[in-house]
Structures are given as structure tokens and as C-alpha cells.
Amino acid sequence: MSIPDATLFVVATPLGNLDDLSPRAVQVLGAADALYAEDTRRSRVLLDHFGIGKRLESLHEHNERERSAEVLAALGRGERVAILTDAGTPAVSDPGTVVVARAAAAGFRVSPVPGPSALTAALSVAGFDAGADGMLFLGFVPARGRERGEAVARAVAHRGIVVLFEAPHRAAATLGELAALAPDRPACAGRELTKIHEEIRRGTLTELAAWADAGLKGELTLVLAGLGAEAPAKVEPTALDGMIERCLAAGLSARDTATAVAAISGEPRREIYARCQAIKT
């Protein structure tokens, strides 16, 4: 296989099972003049498994902008540069976006070496049809603040499939907030994908929230089923107030609660917001 010079290769690496690395990825990593990894210690294990003894430099969220200059200089010398993350595909909720954008803007070739991705792995086993509303990918939900509430509300408001990532110590809280908005929405959770303790759990958001409350190890990839093409069912006022109260209790702001509850119930957002204010007082 011919591997071009002066190219930035974006290399997908295994989520957990080292044998998922593609033969092409092995060739590219072996031929690269410079290798950049999110965590050099973890990537060293992968390279050693395939007999690739090359030096690794770090490229993570805290130094990516500075490292980009090194990458561009190497490309300018005609070198082949490969970037990889701890697991999955670089620049998909992982470092890589900045260096890819800068290399492309400078006119260098950027070539994907596709392979493992938690996003596509979870979608493939969820069994949900995106339908006409498509898929919304949110990546990692913000840990706190207004951005977190907005992300949770946006997830529930989208009528198509929704995919998000979550760290193990925040999984129960996130599932609880989602369940407060849409308790009966079907979902599929993938934990430790491709690893020894892989677990695929299906159920409503309420059921998955109860499962997560018992404690989880490993990152979670969550897929919410689409709501279908039918119009939202009419929600009785008492049920509507209960939904609003659960959202507010879960930590969502009145604005985010109004956005999500309006999407689920079909009621005007302005009216939902007014009910939020009344309930809060």
C-alpha cells in the first residue's frame, strides 16, 4: 500500500479490544514519521502489541494548540504524521479537531484511517430507526451549569435518535435528569464496549436510571430511540405539572424545562414556561 508523504493521518484505534485495529491502521502507524497520542502510555501498549517501536508525542486537550505548530512544521518537511486517541476516532469527542482544522487550512492533505467508534458501535446494536428526524450526536454532556441543562433538554426535545457519551461517575445523574423529562422513552446503554465486561442494557430511561443508581464502571454510550412521526400525545394538566416538577427537581432551569416539556407534550413553550414560574413560586 502506498502511503503519501506530507499527510496528516487521523487513525481510529480500538475501544478496548486491541485486535480491532485495522491492517491499514497498522501500516500507517508503522510508516509514520511522527506519532501523536492523547495518552502516550496507553497508546504505547497498543503500538507494542503490533511491534511498532516508534516514539510517541502527546497531543491532548491541554496542549493541542501548541502541538499543532509542530505538526504543521513536520508536514511542511514532507513527513507523514498520525494522530490517535485513547480509544475510538480522533476529533469525535476527543482531541484532534484543532490540528485537523489547522492542517487543512494550511493546505495539507488530511486522510482518515477509519475504524472503531463508540458512536457507531452503540448505534449498531441499539436497533433504533432514525426515521425522518435523523440522529443528534451530543458527545459528552457538560458536567454542570446552564450548558448541562441545555444539553439534557436538547436531547429529549429531539424527535430522532440521540447519542451521547457519559463518564461513569455522572451516568446516574444524567440518566435521572433524562428520565425526569421522558420517563418512558426507550433507550439503549452500552458500557465498556468491546471490552471483557461489555454490557448492552435496554429499557426505558426510568429503568436505565435505576440500573445506573446501583453504580457503574466504565464510560457509557447512551442511545435514545426516536419518537416517531406521530404528533405528541395530549398531556393532561396534572401530568404536565408533574413533568415540570420532575425536571425542576432534577436541576433543569425553567427555560430548559419549558423547551423540553413543550417538545414532548406539544404544548406551547410560552405556556409551559409560565407554569414553571408558577410552580417555582
What is the per-residue pLDDT for 230?
52
Q: How far is CA 147 from CA 70, 168, 251, in A?
A: 33, 19, 12
Provide the residue type at 137 as one letter.
Answer: F
Angle among Cα 260, 242, 274 to the nearest 5 degrees reads 60
Query: Is the pLDDT reported for residue 243 higher than 50?
Result: yes
User: Which is more confident, 148 or 8?
Assistant: 8
73 pLDDT exceeds 60? yes
pTM of the model: 0.84
Which of 84-98, 222-236, 238-252 has the least mean pLDDT? 222-236
Please spell the DSSP secondary structure of the chain, one letter per residue. Answer: ----SSEEEEE-B-SS-GGGS-HHHHHHHHH-SEEEESSHHHHHHHHHHTT----EEE--TTTHHHHHHHHHHHHHTT-EEEEE-SSB-TTSSSTTHHHHHHHHHTT-EEEEE----HHHHHHHHH----GGG-EEEEEEPPSSHHHHHHHHHHHHH-SSEEEEEE-GGGHHHHHHHHHHH-TT-EEEEEESTTSTT-EEEEEEHHHHHHHHHT---S-EEEEEPP--SSPPPP--HHHHHHHHHHHHHTT--HHHHHHHHHHHH---HHHHHHHHHHHH-
Q: Is the pLDDT of residue 51 over 90?
A: yes
Better-predicted residue by pLDDT, 169 or 253: 169
Segment 269-281 shows an average pLDDT of 83
- In this predicted structure, the answer to whether residue 101 has a pLDDT above a threshold of 70 is yes
Ordered structural domains, the chain, with CATH: 7-116 (3.40.1010.10), 119-280 (3.30.950.10)
> Which has the minimum average pLDDT: 2-6, 83-87, 138-142, 274-278?
274-278
| Confidence (pLDDT) at 234 | 58
60 pLDDT tier (thresholds 50, 70, 90):
very high
Given a cut of 90, is residue 253 above it in pLDDT? no
Q: Which stretch of 48-52, 111-115, 248-252 has the lowest confidence by average pLDDT?
A: 248-252
* pLDDT number for residue 131: 80
Q: Is the pLDDT of residue 256 over 70?
A: yes
Q: Show Cβ contacts of residue 120 under 8 Å, excluding neighbours closer than 6 positions.
A: none
Sign of CA dihedral 60, 63, 68, 71: negative
| Cβ partners under 8 Å of residue 251, min gap 6 | 148, 149, 177
Handedness of CA 16, 20, 23, 25 (dihedral sign): negative
Question: Mean per-residue pLDDT for 251-276?
Answer: 79
What pLDDT is stored for residue 229 in this prediction?
Answer: 55
The per-residue pLDDT for range 117-146, each reduced to its tens digit, is 999 999 999 999 888 889 999 999 988 877
pLDDT value of position 235: 64
Inform me whether the pLDDT recorded for 231 exceeds 60.
no
C-alpha cell at 233: 400525545
Location of C-alpha cell 443528534: 136
> To the nearest whole percent, how much of the chain has pLDDT over 70?
95
- Which of 23 and 247 is assigned the larger pLDDT? 23
Length of the chain equals 281
| Mean of pLDDT over the chain | 90
Contact (CB, 8 A) for 84 and 13: yes
Angle among Cα 69, 74, 79 to the nearest 5 degrees reads 155
